[in-house]
Amino acid sequence: MTTTPPQLVPNPPAICRLGVGILGILVALSALPWIWFSINHFGGFDWGLFGFELLTVLSGIFAILLGLGKFKEGWGIGVTSIAGSILVALVFGLYIDFWMAKRTDFPDLYPLAKYTLMGRAVIIAALFAFASIAVFARDSKSISYIVKAALCAAPIAAVGAMMHFNIGPGVWINNSLAGGSGTGALQSILALVLGLLFIILISAAGHLLIRAYECGRPAAQQTD
């Protein structure tokens, strides 16, 4: 009986491991003040905030361990799971428990909460980026899919920026969609065309990005 040889996954790039380890330290440290506040600053023990900030600390510790190479298997999905855990803790803990419910009662903590929210959002995005790079680095063919996906998404980003800042063609698009110029028919046609283009380009970009991830699968590498 023949046996299938084990599918070896290359180690993630050193820059990814270093970045994830540093981000793990930063996110764990960012939770320590809020753990302290949850114990004695809000007129009683805040179980919700305490629990979610503790989850953030544990996520940071696991990120540090991944950065140190303590886990060899499933590195990319591990980092992605950590980023997801931090996101869940951020939304249900600091954002809902403090920002939405206690911000006005404790204005002295407003600046710290604001910058903690912003900082963790950046950390979450960076963790997702490092996890993706670790997968893409396994096969150079993924780069072409990433470039094609970016080219598909670029027109959407450009049109969105022009509409947001009301510059260039964005002025005409905003006026047309608002009914400021032209007829109702023009408004409907423009909305339909932009909607279809958005759906087509986003779908194409998503498909190409999935193909880029598939290039990093061990099975895909062995069949090449």
Residue for token pair 């330290």: 25
Query: Please, which residues have CB within 8 angstroms of residue 191's CB and are 6 or more apart in sequence?
Result: 177
Q: What percent of the chain has pLDDT over 90?
A: 35
Q: Give the rounded percent of residues in the chain with a pLDDT score beyond 70.
A: 88
Domain positions in the chain are 14-136, 141-223
Q: Which residue has the higher pLDDT, 180 or 54?
A: 54
Q: Phi/psi of residue 167, each to 5°?
A: -130, 155
pLDDT at position 224 over 50: no
Q: What is the mean pLDDT of the chain?
A: 84
Asked whether the CA dihedral 117, 118, 124, 127 is positive or negative, the reply is: negative
In this structure, of 31-35, 104-108, 218-222, the range with the lowest mean pLDDT score is: 218-222
- For 51-95, the pLDDT digits (tens) are 999 999 999 999 999 999 888 777 888 898 999 999 999 999 999
Confidence category of residue 141, pLDDT binned at 50, 70, 90: confident
Residue among 109, 124, 100 at smallest CA distance from 20: 124
pLDDT at position 25 is: 97
What does the alpha-carbon distance between residue 31 and residue 93 come to, in Å, rounded to a whole number? 11
Please state the rounded mean pLDDT for residues 8-31: 90
- Token pair, residue 105, equals 């009662």
CA 65/CA 99 separation, integer angstroms: 31
Q: Which of 67-71, 177-181, 209-213 has the lowest mean pLDDT?
A: 177-181
**More confident position, 43 or 14:** 14
Whole-model pTM? 0.72
**Rounded Cα gap, residues 143 and 206, in angstroms:** 14
Lowest-confidence pick of 13-22, 135-144, 179-188: 179-188
The predicted model gives 138-162 an average pLDDT of 85
How many other C-beta atoms lie within 10 A of the C-beta of residue 137? 18
Query: Which of 105-109, 137-141, 179-183 has the weakest average pLDDT?
Result: 179-183
Whole-number pLDDT of residue 194:
81
Instruction: Provide mean pLDDT across the span 125-139.
Output: 86
Of residues 5, 3, 65, the one with CA closest to residue 218: 5
